[in-house]
Amino acid sequence: MNKKTRKKNRSQILPIIILVLLALVSLPFIYMNNIVKGDKILNNVSIGKINVSNLTKEEAKQALGQKFSFGNVTLNDAGVTYDYNLSENGFNYDIDKSVEDAFNVGRDGNVIQNILVAFGHSTGKKTDIPLDYNDDYAGLENWFNEIAQKANIDPVNPTISVSGAGIVVVPGVKGKIVDVEALKANVKQEIEKNSDGQDIVLDLPVKTVDPYIKEEQLSKINGIIGKYSTKYPTSDVARSMNVAVTAKKMNGILLMPGDQGSFMSHLGPVNEKAGFKAAKIIINNEYVDGIGGGVCQVSSTMYNALLRSGLDVTARSNHTFPIGYVPLGLDATVADPAPDMKYKNNYPFPIYITNSAGGGYMTTTIYGNRELAKKVDITTEVLETIPSDVVYKDDPTLPEGKEVVDDNGHIGYKVVSYKTIDGKKTVIARSNYKMTPKIILRGTKKAEPGTEQAQQPKAMQATSNDPNSELHQSALPIF
């Protein structure tokens, strides 16, 4: 073969070689491009560790739907269980989105990028698509809070029991509170790692809560440091019942050092639902039936016991008129919602107050530390006595010349009370009792001609100006 012939053959073979090489290079690209343009997910692609290689979208959705779901959350608390269905309360896997993300592997770039990704997956590269889910953690947290309201147990403080056996400290009881923050973290962690629909079962995380008051604090109470009694007429059944109801509601008051107490806050509403009856009270200077007549006898008795125990009384009002069951200047009127009597434990030890009523006697007893309590002497001084004015009112219904006492009125007083501690005398309070005039009705009716008017004795009202009389019980608008 001559040189010319060989050259001609080479020129014919070279294009063939080039075509073969191009085919060898392009065929994989064409193959990969066909795969990319197909309707199946690339090889070595998974969703949530579940292999979805070479599956269509619908096939992948069916496969995932059988694998992924949300179950129940069950919380155990000492034999009590609480259940919550996640699927029915806003928790569901977004399978459509995850499948779409898996399908887009090798399809979301340009042609060259997509082919390279497809080639990589065909030679062993793997891609795992996280399984997205929708949630309603706000609703789940509301459920946690509802559980906490049911499961939380307030601690019970120790208290005092007084009986014939003496003063006994009754032990307290620890409480518990649900650790909502720990509960949220625990449940969320389980939800995120559990995707196969299994139920989540956990113990309810709780914290122990100690009583606010310690038993050793109450052990400092060793005796009576103040006591006072008043007498009430048992013949007034309704009023006696009100005194008894009030005493019961005000019984067993514990004041820690620095604590402040409110008579009306502790007593609560004064109404028929609370057990109070209608008895005599004063409204607009007149005795009328009103709910709660007699409550002030308890507050006044307690006031005197508080003073004699050395406790601070931070708010107190005297009655409008003097009352009969305590001395002038030593009464304390209360009403719903005001005025109120307030007091404070100014001692470094606890105070325990009992109130009792029965047999016509109302008694307040205050317990504390006898060695540390102050010795208090209570005295009063009447600074001024204001006699009742006399006011005449003409009455055309009475015969001329006849006089009838319509209202005996009230003597007014200005009184100051003192306490003496360690020889030092200080003012407790100043009390002003209102004077009201004596009202006398004077007849102006003329006698008819030919008749003689008989002289009638003056009628006197059965009231008394004596400050120790039980008739002067209360003031505007007190009980």
pTM: 0.69
Specify the number of domains making up the chain: 2
Residues 186 and 275 in one domain: no
Which letter does DSSP use for residue 347 in this model? S
Q: Which helix (H) or strand (E) holds 381?
A: strand 376-386
Cβ burial of 278 (10 Å; 0-12, 13-18, 19+) is: middle
Of the three residues 214, 230, 265, the one that is the final residue of a domain is 214
Asked if the bond preceding 233 is cis, omega within 30° of 0, the reply is no
Residues 260 and 385 in one domain: yes
Backbone φ and ψ for 412, nearest 5 degrees, come out as -90, 155
> What angle, rounded to 10 degrees, do the helices at 95-103 and 57-67 form?
140
Does the residue 142 lie in any domain?
yes
The pLDDT, as a whole number, for residue 468 is 31
Does the residue 151 lie in any domain?
yes
CATH number of domain containing 61: 3.10.20
Which letter does DSSP use for residue 205 in this model? P
Residues 274 and 413 in one domain: yes
Please give the Cα distance from 407 to 366 (Å, whole number). Answer: 40
Which residues fall within 8 angstroms of residue 395, CB to CB, at 6 or more apart? Answer: 404, 441, 442, 443, 444
Q: What is the pLDDT along the chain (479 residues), one digit of tens a residue?
A: 555 555 555 666 766 666 656 655 554 555 555 555 688 899 999 988 889 999 998 988 888 876 777 889 999 999 999 999 998 898 888 888 889 888 988 888 887 787 787 778 878 899 998 887 888 999 999 999 999 999 999 999 999 999 877 999 999 999 999 999 999 999 999 988 876 678 999 999 999 999 999 999 999 999 999 999 999 999 999 999 999 999 999 999 999 999 999 999 999 999 999 999 999 876 766 678 889 999 999 999 999 999 999 999 999 999 998 999 999 999 999 998 889 999 999 999 999 999 999 999 999 999 999 999 999 999 999 999 999 999 999 999 999 989 999 988 999 999 999 999 999 999 999 999 999 999 999 999 988 775 554 444 433 333 333 333 333 333 333 44
If you compute the radius of gyration of the chain from its CA atoms, what whole number of angstroms results?
Answer: 46
**Domain range spanning residue 410?**
220-445
Tokens for 59, please give them.
């096939």
CA dihedral 306, 308, 310, 314 (to 10 degrees): 40
Output the CA torsion sign for 141, 143, 146, 152.
negative
Residues 234 and 197 in one domain: no
The pLDDT, as a whole number, for residue 74 is 96
Tokens for 174, please give them.
């620890």
Residues 199 and 236 in one domain: no
Count the Cβ atoms, other than its own, within 10 Å of residue 143: 17
Q: Which helix (H) or strand (E) holds 65?
A: helix 57-67
Residues 345 and 314 in one domain: yes
Say if residues 41 and 54 touch (Cβ distance below 8 Å): yes
Residues 267 and 405 in one domain: yes
